[in-house]
Amino acid sequence: MSKKFLIFDSDDLKKFHKRVFFSIIVFLGFYFVAIFRIADVMVFENNVKEITNIKANIERGKIYDRNGQLLATNIDNYSLAANPLKINNKSDLSNQLSAILFLDKEVIEKKLLSQKKFVWLKRNISPKEHQKIIELGEIHLRTLLETKRIYPFQNIGAHVLGYVDIDNKGQAGIERGLDDILNKGENIFLTIDINLQNAVQEELESTIEKFSADSGVSLLIDIKNGEIISLNNFPDFNPNRINLSSMEGRFNRALQANYEMGSTFKPIIVALGIDENIINKEMMFDVSQPINSIRDYHPFVGSLSVKDIVVQSSNIGAAKIAHKIGKKKQIEFFRKMGFFEKLNIQIKEAAQPLGNKNNWGELETMTIGFGHGFAVTPLHIATAYASILNEGRRVKPTILLGTNNISSEALVKKETSEYILELLRAVVTETEYTGPRVRIEGYEIGGKTGTAELINNLGQYQKDANLTSFIGIFPISKPQYLVLTIVENPKKIKEENYNITGAAVNAPLVKNIILRMIEILKIPRLPASEILNAAIRINYHRYYVTQ
């Protein structure tokens, strides 16, 4: 079989070579453009990685309440960046982006004039913004997938959870305190009950609104193990919109504010005196005359017992007890109670009390007896009460579920603890003013009111501005829950015929909180026999003691 050959003349061969050469040139051109483009993208994305952890391999851990309700989680979200060195039409592009992103043109243009290879134009853009950016078709803009932290309950529990910055770094609350754990992708469960947190917030805000108060605090703690079940502040903030929050709203009063607590301090001083055998139950103190500027809200005639000094809330009596105890013993006891240091809790912004043991004269030794001249945080006073009432054993507060915070360290004797419980029960069962405002039929409640003058920025007491408080214990026979409420600067209601005190403002608030607890936790009433015994105790006091 004969072979056939294609024969080209010299012109055809030249044309063929030209076509091949041209094809190679075109191919190499596209190849180098592609390589340059890939390199450009790699450089751009390397710059991204240097600046922030884009869609990290380990997703930040979620936060749950004690019952498994989701409190903090993550969603995928886009952010917009650019390579300014590659953009020519900066002014036109700034105009277009300004309309899409709702940002000032000057702000965008300033970023596009940067000499950097990478700049953020806007973090966490909306899906609508994302789509419009794609439609622009500007190849030197990048929409990068990131993780955004969200809080489903918004402001509820905000001071517990805290918030993160734009790069998901914890800035406050648990987000800051347990940042290392969460960054490893580990989920955490808190002691908070979000349903109770919400209920307490509603009651706190209702009271603040009713009395046109400036702010307020509430703490609900399990006395047995130190678990914080709710921690509430007002004003508050929405961690989903932290850029719209105020410093006042972000301030965690429950852990950071220092207050002179007024009469809620009296049981602590009495516990010290009883435990050290400096005073006893039978002692009587003359309260008929003021001590310099120390006087009683309602003057008393003659003498009062230790019990009545607490139950009837005599400042003169408490000052005399404190003076009898003395400065040295007070400082020793307060140090043991942790009043001179920060509490070790997972929320790192917790503050140290302002008590100054170096400026502690005879007057301060007396006024401390009724909670003046010594400032502590709400968590400090709540923890001190819990420790005294937990059979005298130290209670360590915690916000992290599963923390082994049970302590066998005794701060006061069991007998002292039982006596203080007796006094707190009497405040509710034996008083005509406080008792009716907090009693709940079928449930045993104890507590102590407090009213103190607020201090202004010059360190002066304000006669027309009070701090009111109430610490409730429930149930008082087997104490488990402590409810602390504080209201700053409540105003007198014209239509109401009573003064602004802890009994008037905070006792009803604590009652309402306990009612919500009963409903949410399904706490049963006492058996009829125990209700009868409680009634007998109340009537015995009224007939045999007050007659």
Q: Helix, strand, or coil here: 393?
A: strand
Share of the chain above pLDDT 70, in %: 85
Contact (CB, 8 A) for 290 and 366: no
Nearest alpha-carbon partner for 515 in 195, 200, 69: 200
Position 258 confidence tier, pLDDT thresholds 50, 70, 90: very high
Q: What is the pLDDT of residue 310?
A: 96
> Which whole number is the average pLDDT over 186-202?
98
DSSP string covering 442-472: TB--EEEEEEEEEE-TTSPEEEEEEEEEEEE
Residue 21 has pLDDT above 90, yes or no: no
Residue 504 has pLDDT above 90, yes or no: yes
Residue 26 has pLDDT above 50, yes or no: yes
> Which whole number is the average pLDDT over 220-240?
97
Share of the chain above pLDDT 90, in %: 62
Prior bond of 235 cis (ω within 30°)? yes
**Region for residue 262 given its phi and psi (left: phi exceeds 0; alpha: psi -120 to 50; beta: otherwise):** left
Residue 5 has pLDDT above 50, yes or no: no
Contact (CB, 8 A) for 188 and 182: yes
> Which whole number is the average pLDDT over 132-149?
86
Where do we find the tokens 């078709």?
A: 137
Q: Which two tokens stand for residue 37?
A: 């483009």
Q: Which two tokens stand for residue 168?
A: 């998901």
Q: What is the pLDDT of residue 53?
A: 43
Q: Helix, strand, or coil here: 151?
A: coil
Residue 15 has pLDDT above 70, yes or no: no
Looking at per-residue pLDDT, the higher value among 349 and 38 belongs to 349
**What HEC string does 298-344 produce?**
CCCCCEEEHHHHHHCCCHHHHHHHHHHHCHHHHHHHHHHHCCCCCCC
Q: Helix, strand, or coil here: 519?
A: helix
Rounded to 5 degrees, what are φ and ψ at 404? -85, 90
Domains parsed from the chain with CATH numbers: 63-154 (3.90.1310.10), 195-545 (3.40.710.10)
Q: What is the pLDDT of residue 47?
A: 42
Q: Helix, strand, or coil here: 88?
A: coil
Looking at per-residue pLDDT, the higher value among 134 and 267 belongs to 267
Q: What is the pLDDT of residue 133?
A: 86
Rounded to 5 degrees, what are φ and ψ at 156? -70, 120
Q: Residue 39: CA atoms inside 13 Å, Cβ hemisphere, count?
A: 6
- Amino acid code (one letter) for 182: L
Task: Please state, as a whole number, how many other Cβ atoms lie within 10 Å of the Cβ of residue 42.
Answer: 10
> Which whole number is the average pLDDT over 119-126?
88
Of 27-36, 118-127, 182-191, 486-495, where does the model show the most confidence?
182-191
Distance of CA 305 to CAs 2, 270, 422, 426, 431, Å?
A: 135, 12, 14, 13, 15
Rounded mean pLDDT of the chain? 87
- Amino acid code (one letter) for 206: S
**What HEC string does 464-488 produce?**
EEEEEEEEEEECCCCCCEEEEEEEE
According to DSSP, the residues that pair with 483 across neighbouring strands are 220, 472
Residue 147 has pLDDT above 80, yes or no: yes
pLDDT digits (tens, 9 = 90+) for 65-83: 999 999 999 998 888 999 8
Pairing of strands 188-189, 63-64: parallel
Residue 191 has pLDDT above 70, yes or no: yes
Q: What is the pLDDT of residue 538?
A: 46
> Which whole number is the average pLDDT over 14-39?
56
Position 9 confidence tier, pLDDT thresholds 50, 70, 90: low
Looking at per-residue pLDDT, the higher value among 7 and 436 belongs to 436
Element (H, E) at 215: strand 215-222
Position 499 confidence tier, pLDDT thresholds 50, 70, 90: confident
List of long-range contacts for 181-188, beta carbons under 8 Å, 24+ apart: 181/61, 182/60, 182/61, 182/63, 183/58, 183/60, 183/61, 184/58, 184/61, 185/58, 185/59, 185/60, 185/61, 186/61, 187/61, 187/62, 187/63, 187/64, 188/61, 188/62, 188/63, 188/64, 188/400, 188/401
Distance of CA 10 to CAs 7, 15, 17, 20, Å?
A: 10, 9, 11, 15
> Which whole number is the average pLDDT over 185-203?
98
Q: What is the pLDDT of residue 315?
A: 96
As to burial, measured by CB atoms within 10 angstroms (0-12 exposed, 13-18 middle, 19+ buried), residue 302 is: exposed
Distance of CA 147 to CAs 73, 120, 287, 437, 530, Å?
A: 10, 15, 65, 49, 56
Dihedral sign for Cα 511, 516, 521, 522, please.
Answer: positive
pTM: 0.83
Looking at per-residue pLDDT, the higher value among 102 and 358 belongs to 102
**Region for residue 407 given its phi and psi (left: phi exceeds 0; alpha: psi -120 to 50; beta: otherwise):** beta
Looking at per-residue pLDDT, the higher value among 463 and 275 belongs to 275
> Which whole number is the average pLDDT over 365-370?
94
Q: What is the pLDDT of residue 23?
A: 61
Residue 541 has pLDDT above 70, yes or no: no
Q: What is the pLDDT of residue 539?
A: 47
Dihedral sign for Cα 422, 424, 430, 435, please.
Answer: negative
Residue 317 has pLDDT above 90, yes or no: yes
- Measured between alpha carbons, how far is 18 from 14 in angstroms, rounded to an integer? 6
Contact (CB, 8 A) for 390 and 479: yes
